[in-house]
């Protein structure tokens, strides 16, 4: 089962990573000034991860593939790592959809 891990950056901002059952990070958030905002971001991932239309599939300037998950307001909630193929990227999206809804939160901040 996946889990969200909240950490605090060196600049004082909070962020979360969604990790799959194998411990691999499958989605990372932006930085948040307040922990409550970070926790709201996690809830937004849980809510929006089941909607295929919320995932934006992208190609980086170096030719690698990644995705972003957007909230209802169009704001990016989290982004994936870089993948070598579109199939690997699509598997990453499936992993977020499978792991996010029931994931526990591990606060390490």
pLDDT in tens, 68-87: 999 989 999 999 999 999 99
β-strand partners of 81: none
Tokens of 18: 């969604």
Average pLDDT, the chain: 96
Strands (E), the chain: 3-8, 14-19, 25-29, 55-59, 65-70, 76-79, 104-107
Domains and CATH numbers, the chain: 3-107 (2.30.29.80)
Q: What is the pLDDT of residues 9-29, one digit of tens each?
A: 999 999 999 999 999 999 999
> In the structure, what pLDDT confidence band is assigned to residue 57 with cuts at 50, 70 and 90?
very high
């Amino acid at each position: 089962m996946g889990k969200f891990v909240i950490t605090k950056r060196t600049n004082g901002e909070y962020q979360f990573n969604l990790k799959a059952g194998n411990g691999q990070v499958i989605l990372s958030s932006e930085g948040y000034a307040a922990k409550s905002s970070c926790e709201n971001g996690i809830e937004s991932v849980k809510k929006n991860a089941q909607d295929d239309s919320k995932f934006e599939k992208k190609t980086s300037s170096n030719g690698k593939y990644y995705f972003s998950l957007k909230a209802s307001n169009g704001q990016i909630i989290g982004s994936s790592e870089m993948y070598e193929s579109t199939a690997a990227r699509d598997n990453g999206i499936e992993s977020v959809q499978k792991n996010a809804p029931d994931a526990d939160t591990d606060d390490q901040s």
